[in-house]
Structure 1
């Protein structure tokens, strides 16, 4: 039996929005809706599967899903607030934990809290083709809940996505400029190990902080959403959330596993840590 862990809605949000059409991979995510069948049919979180119970109300393993091969197993009910209560989510999670090789995550606040935060990720659709899964809209990953997001240039240009997410400011790190309904601040940055991004850290980080401190939502974007935007996101967390380089790196990596500042940016982040704290606390060779 594997461990059952509580899971913030943002964790599930990021699992649903990792790049590379991950949802089309058959062993990527097992997302189970443990509510009553009629509730599931009315509306559920996108890609979630309903689960059945036997005549005694015991949860059955989901059909046609090899739970033991899944990288991520997540279950939710209406509004479970703790993994200490005998809720439908917990009862279902215990059954899943008997066969899963990955920890079983229970969404705290359940469907009600998740969909209050991410209304655009609820649906009535039950069946998906591989092609549909590959083409589901991907949203920027969430770094700070309800405040800071990291994404690519395509997402930063999608007006409907930005409206759904209520993004107020876009920090675009690209040689290509862009206009839109939201406030867009373009910083011409090359993804080159020789490019001096360090000199812009202070100005960009303070701009992000000024918007976040007022409750506005900020999207940091670069063409592929991997190197430039992750470097700036890490720099912001180091200055305005007082993280070490190691701590900020781990936080962003947990939200977006394919993020990777280039070697030049990584060295500049090391220098940024020295500037902020007066000492080198992180061995970048271990990152």
Structure 2
């Protein structure tokens, strides 16, 4: 038996937007998202890929067909507004029951459907059944590093005007080698950092400029997207450099935070060394041992 924990809306947003070649929602053992509201509420609108739980005459929940709790990496349960684990009710009872069979903590969505839908209305749907092909065609959004402020993604996401609009992005940091002049960027301010994804490439000399640009926009209440070609190495390096600068995170803390947001992020070895040097510059000492296998 595992525990039940609260899941902030931004955490679920990032879980929904993980991808390798395709959205990870295509994986049958990746996410079990359970909506325990009344059927008519579910039919009026729910979070994308959520399944509506049924209730027996004895007041027990009946899981949707084909859900294997034991193999699920993420299990998230939500009602309309629950925001605490202290109050007992259908959502906590359902989560506690699922935790008995799960290998991982079962998450209860803080604020429920109403809060999530208010923050991410573009991830609402009335569709209840998806084919594999439909799941493969889903276009994941950039992950959220700082809620409603800082995002990290790839070139395709940055060149999608619908995503720029949905996330209310006002500034872009382009650390791919592709030109931003070839796509519609609306009213976004753009900082171009043309650096190759190579262990010999120098991103360190760009850290100050990127941090200053990002900081100025966040202080003005504008959301920023940092992106690279594949959204894995260069953009994660700049994102961690900003967290070290802005929040005074150690490299270890910045690494763990970004990895929690995007599980397949991976700066190349040269960039890891540059981040270690940046940690020393910003914090006054080298705190993180980058010789550890996780780096």
Regarding TM over 0.5, the answer is yes
* Selected match of 1:148 from 147, 150, 153: 150
Helix, strand or coil for the counterpart of 1:285? coil
Q: Distance in 1 between matches of 2:291 and 2:33?
A: 36
* Selected match of 1:200 from 185, 203, 206: 206
**Alignment pair present for 1:234 and 2:236:** no
Helix, strand or coil for the counterpart of 1:221? strand
Would the aligned equivalents of 2:173 and 2:192 in 1 still touch at CA under 8 Å?
yes
C-alpha RMSD over aligned residues: 0.9
- 1:5-44 to 2 correspondences below 5 Å: 5-20=5-20, 21-44=23-46
Displacement of 1:63: 2.0
* Selected match of 1:104 from 103, 106, 126: 106
Partner of 2:3: 3
Displacement of 1:134: 1.0
- 1:131-210 to 2 correspondences below 5 Å: 131-179=133-181, 180-181=185-186, 182-210=188-216
Helix, strand or coil for the counterpart of 2:54? coil
Q: How many residues align?
A: 287
Helix, strand or coil for the counterpart of 1:233? helix
Partner of 1:265: 271
Q: Distance in 2 between matches of 1:201 and 1:50?
A: 46
- 1:103-122 to 2 correspondences below 5 Å: 103-122=105-124
Displacement of 1:91: 1.6
Partner of 1:65: 67
Query: Once the two structures are superposed, what CA deviation does each residue of 1:105-144 show, in whole Å capped at 9, x if it has no partner?
Result: 0000000010111010000001100011111121000000
Helix, strand or coil for the counterpart of 2:85? coil
**Alignment pair present for 1:217 and 2:249:** no
Would the aligned equivalents of 1:61 and 1:96 in 2 still touch at CA under 8 Å?
no
Post-superposition, which runs of at least 4 consecutive aligned residues in structure 1 deviate over 4 A? Answer: none
Q: Distance in 2 between matches of 1:266 and 1:169?
A: 25
Provide TM-score, normalisation by structure 1: 0.98
Would the aligned equivalents of 2:80 and 2:114 in 1 still touch at CA under 8 Å?
yes
Helix, strand or coil for the counterpart of 2:77? strand
Displacement of 1:56: 2.5
Query: What 5-or-longer segments of structure 1 have no aligned partner?
Result: none
Displacement of 1:81: 1.2
Q: Distance in 1 between matches of 2:197 and 2:89?
A: 48
Helix, strand or coil for the counterpart of 2:87? coil
Query: Once the two structures are superposed, what CA deviation does each residue of 1:12-58 show, in whole Å capped at 9, x if it has no partner?
Result: 00000001221001000000001111100110000000001111222
Query: What 5-or-longer segments of structure 2 have no aligned partner?
Result: none
Query: Once the two structures are superposed, what CA deviation does each residue of 1:144-181 show, in whole Å capped at 9, x if it has no partner?
Result: 00100000000000001111111110100022211321
**Alignment pair present for 1:275 and 2:281:** yes
Q: Distance in 2 between matches of 1:145 and 1:132?
A: 28
* Selected match of 1:249 from 255, 261, 283: 255
Q: Distance in 1 between matches of 2:99 and 2:12?
A: 18
